[in-house]
Amino acid sequence: MTPHLSAAPPELEGKIVTPVDPRYLLLRSTHTGVAEPALVLLPESTTEVVAALRFARDRDLPVTVRSGGHGVSGHATHDGGVVIDLSALNRVEVLDRRKRLVRVQAGARWAAVGQSLAPYGLAIGSDDHGDLGVGGLATGGGIGWLVRDYGLTIDRIRAADVVLADGTIARADAEHDPDMLWAVRGAGAGVGIVVEFEIEAMEVCDVGYVQIAVEIKRDGRALRQWADHMASATRGLTTTVSVQSCGSALVASITAVVAGTDRHHLRAAVEPLLLIGTRLLDLNVRLTPYHALLATPHLYPGSGQQAGATTNGLLRAMTDDDATAIMAAATMPQQPSIQLRSVGGAVNDVPAGATAYPHRHQDTLVIASVFPPRRGAELDAVWQPLAGRSDGAYGGFESRPGPDAFARIYPGATGQRVTRLWNRYDPDGVFRRKEPGRGRG
């Protein structure tokens, strides 16, 4: 049932989308989930975000906040409540080129951020999808194409403007409420609606982009070769590995991004990857502007087009047994998608207690997904060989947030502090009425 709209504030005139509105079908869903919210609100300023939040709270409707709507949990929408869609808050502004300080609103997509900063020779390390919204990633982590060189997105956040559950607009930085800044950087979804970030960018123009396909055996040796190389490689090299079956063969698809354009440096970083596995199947090398990796064709509305179940775990250093377990998962009859992402490097320069993301000693992120008609039970079966081997988890690749996921994402003292701060800034649980630990997409 659509809530009564007669008392809607004037700030929201024309910005309340009901199920009978032609815009509704384009706004009700995310990339990974389909839902039927009672209303979608489209504020265009911080003041209107406050009005939208009060409008929902006055009607005692559950609130979901959405920046891009790409998040794997699908929780950037839900049935029956109010979705506050931040897509109109999408400004990108270079505040200080010398200090590389950039202001980015939460509804901007990373493709647009990349294009806006390219003329300045700047970039912000983000995700590897251009359609992802800034808000979800920049409050949860940020593992992207240059993560080993740049670090996590949250590590470069210097300030944030937040709308709290009571409608207060708060400033979080090192001088004004450092506790809030700590929580925003890794656990921001439970603090409030972050509407703007000030982020320190990096100097980058072109990068080396390499795609490699190699045939591998089931014994896991190829994964150890990859992990051993990454352990000693320049931090300017960041890679992902996807394992898949091609008939009777197993193939590892490796994507490598190398910071900078020095060809000798590029060759030295990548050549060991060509020796992985039993046979090189394909190789594509090019230099490309960094922003081209976050392509604008990615900017499409969410319609639940990639539903699935996903979980993940971090590894401190890959052992033979770890590699064997990953290959066991990859070759299960559920036909999962298994991806490995290199972390470490600049990520691990940050002390574990400096942000709400405490995982600062691991080198590899392992992600497992299954797709319809397979569901959570099938994912659990796939993950079983790895469940006891992982050391922590990353919230951005967890489709089933809940107490168990919270404990892996925010272990020990970090989880205690996150809970304490969430209760301080949102005592009524407005932003966590579903499961704890969820992020925004």
**CATH classification at residue 63:** 3.30.43.10
Same domain for 119 and 171, yes or no, is yes
Residue 43 lies in a domain: yes
Same domain for 151 and 191, yes or no, is yes
Q: How far apart are CA 229 and CA 222, in angstroms?
A: 11
| Cβ 315 vs Cβ 387: under 8 Å | no
Same domain for 59 and 162, yes or no, is no
Residue 314 lies in a domain: no
Count of domains observed in the chain: 2
Going by pLDDT thresholds of 50, 70 and 90, the confidence category of residue 435 is very low
What pLDDT is attached to residue 304?
61
**CATH classification at residue 114:** 3.30.465.10
State yes or no: pLDDT of 186 exceeds 80.
Answer: yes
Instruction: State what percent of residues in the chain have pLDDT above 90.
Output: 78
What pLDDT is attached to residue 390?
95
Q: How far apart are CA 162 and CA 181, in angstroms?
A: 10
Please give the mean pLDDT across all residues of the chain: 91
Q: How far apart are CA 364 and CA 384, in angstroms?
A: 18
Task: Pick the last residue of a domain from 54, 85, 116.
Answer: 85
Residue 113 lies in a domain: yes
Task: Pick the last residue of a domain from 53, 85, 117.
Answer: 85
Same domain for 27 and 126, yes or no, is no
What pLDDT is attached to residue 168?
97
Instruction: State what percent of residues in the chain have pLDDT above 70.
Output: 92
Read off the pLDDT of each residue in 31-41 and give the average, rounded to a whole number. 85
State yes or no: pLDDT of 438 exceeds 50.
Answer: no
Residue 157 lies in a domain: yes
What pLDDT is attached to residue 73?
67
Same domain for 35 and 134, yes or no, is no
Structural domain harbouring 110 = 92-203
| Bridging pattern class, strands 82-85 and 63-66 | parallel
State yes or no: pLDDT of 432 exceeds 90.
Answer: no
Going by pLDDT thresholds of 50, 70 and 90, the confidence category of residue 441 is very low
Q: Please state the three-class secondary structure of the chain as a single string.
A: CCCCCCCCCHHHCCCEECCCCCCHHHHCCCCCCCCCCCEEECCCCHHHHHHHHHHHHHCCCCEEEECCCCCCCCCCCCCCCEEEECCCCCCEEEEECCCCEEEEECCCEHHHHHHHHHHHCEECCCCCCCCCEHHHHHCCCCCCCCHHHHCCHHHHEEEEEEECCCCCEEEEECCCCHHHHHHHHHHHHHCCEEEEEEEECEECCEEEEEEEEEEECCCCHHHHHHHHHHHHCCCCEEEEEEEEEECCEEEEEEEEEEEECCHHHHHHHHHHHHHCCCEEEEEEEEEEEHHHHCCHHHCCCCCCCCCCEEEEEEECCCCHHHHHHHHHHHCCCCCCEEEEEECCHHHHHCCCCCCCCCCCCCCEEEEEEECCCCCHHHHHHHHHHHHCCCCCCCHHHCCCCCHHHHHHHCCHHHHHHHHHHHHHHCCCCHHHCCCCCCCCC
Give the pLDDT confidence of 381-425 residue by residue, as tens digits.
999 999 999 999 999 999 998 999 999 999 999 999 999 999 999
Same domain for 102 and 198, yes or no, is yes
Same domain for 145 and 199, yes or no, is yes
Q: How far apart are CA 251 and CA 246, in angstroms?
A: 7
Give the pLDDT confidence of 119-136 residue by residue, as tens digits.
999 999 988 877 889 999
State yes or no: pLDDT of 33 exceeds 80.
Answer: no
State yes or no: pLDDT of 439 exceeds 70.
Answer: no
Give the pLDDT confidence of 4-26 residue by residue, as tens digits.
666 788 999 999 999 999 999 88
Same domain for 56 and 114, yes or no, is no
Task: Pick the last residue of a domain from 85, 114, 140.
Answer: 85
Please give the order of strands across the beta sheet that includes 157-163.
Answer: 92-96, 101-105, 193-200, 157-163, 169-173
Residue 391 lies in a domain: no
Residue 319 lies in a domain: no
Same domain for 100 and 194, yes or no, is yes
Residue 192 lies in a domain: yes
Question: Taking each helix axis from N to C terminus, what angle separates 178-187 and 412-425, rounded to the nearest 10 degrees?
Answer: 110
Same domain for 127 and 168, yes or no, is yes
Same domain for 97 and 80, yes or no, is no
The structure tokens listed for 190 are 């439970």
Same domain for 37 and 106, yes or no, is no
Give the pLDDT confidence of 197-243 residue by residue, as tens digits.
999 999 998 999 999 999 999 999 999 999 999 999 999 999 999 99
Residue 402 lies in a domain: no
**For residue 351, cis peptide bond before it (omega within 30 degrees of 0):** no
Give the pLDDT confidence of 273-328 residue by residue, as tens digits.
999 999 999 999 999 999 999 876 555 566 666 678 899 999 999 999 999 999 99
The structure tokens listed for 329 are 């998962």
Give the pLDDT confidence of 239-266 residue by residue, as tens digits.
999 998 877 789 999 999 999 878 888 9
Going by pLDDT thresholds of 50, 70 and 90, the confidence category of residue 63 is very high
| Cβ 13 vs Cβ 43: under 8 Å | no
Q: Which of 96-110, 179-193, 283-297, 316-330 has the lowest mean pLDDT?
A: 283-297
| Cβ 395 vs Cβ 409: under 8 Å | yes
